Structure 1
Amino acid sequence: MIGTNPNLIADSSATFGDFPYHLAIFRVSPYVLKVDFGSTSPSLKRLDKMASRLYIKGRILGHKRGKRNSRPNQSLLQIEGVDNKEAARHYLGKRVAYVYKAKREINGSRVRVIWGRISRSHGNSGAVKSKFRTNLPAKTFGASCRIMLFPSNI
């Protein structure tokens, strides 16, 4: 515990804002230790009961193209939080999913997925080039996609 005063967050309150409590979450496999510095006892919760996102958000920028020629079999993506070539190198080989809803239901679901794979970086600003199983239609430009954290070589 930091202190007995529930309004005391840390030495610098500007880091956490002006909230009366600070919440810390620690992973203690397979449980999550949740410490609320305003209460007296920590609580344990199972990891599988907590909502978690197992992908990184990305944005589809468009097809790779030159001045006159477009290459619809190669798509450019911007990954959230990636702003240089070195950071984009971590995502090479990762799977990409473009998830969308269709009008007609097939096998009890309207959700469809086009899968792809990140092949290389593009430029110096963290954009990456990817190839999808089927070419992405032009209406996906600007849409969001999911960059899965597999396959992993860690």
Structure 2
Amino acid sequence: YNSLSGMDGNDRLSGSGGNDTLIGGRGNDTLHGGSGNDRITGVRSFPIVGGNPGANEIDILTGSTGSDTFVLGDQSNVYYDQNGNLDYAAITDLTIADRIVLNGDASDYVMQNQFLINPSLGAGVIQGTAIRRVEGGSNDMIGFVQNIVGLNANSSVFEYVSPQIRIA
């Protein structure tokens, strides 16, 4: 079991053969879980002064073999939110055994088949599914699932975490 965390800047983190936890920092990170059941988060979830976790970042998340969990939100935050298509997590190898964790519930999201032009993903044009946050009138792409089309928000690959309710 490895737990690896990135710092500010563009990090490259790779897990080993066990069940790893990878957490990127600020910057455009590339995270690769390796074999095993990995938990991969492109951003730090604690509050960031002047923006949301994942703001102005494009993180590349690869699980490899095993049942992997890609975290795009927690109980307090939607990651990669509020900048349209300018920041998101690109998931390169989603399988039916994997999970994508999102803040809120299925009604907060729309899945859209899309072509994405982004050389940082290793190819010029990539087809896949954009994960779009539509709650509150926004339409922000927070994630992109490479090479898979036809996902919907009620698919079994999505796991939703409800926001924490704070009582004053």
Q: Identify the structure with bigger relative contact order (alpha carbons < 8 Å, sequence gap 6+).
A: 1
Going by fraction, where is strand more abundant, 1 or 2? 1
TM-score (norm 2): 0.22
For the pair shown, which has the larger CA radius of gyration, 1 or 2?
1
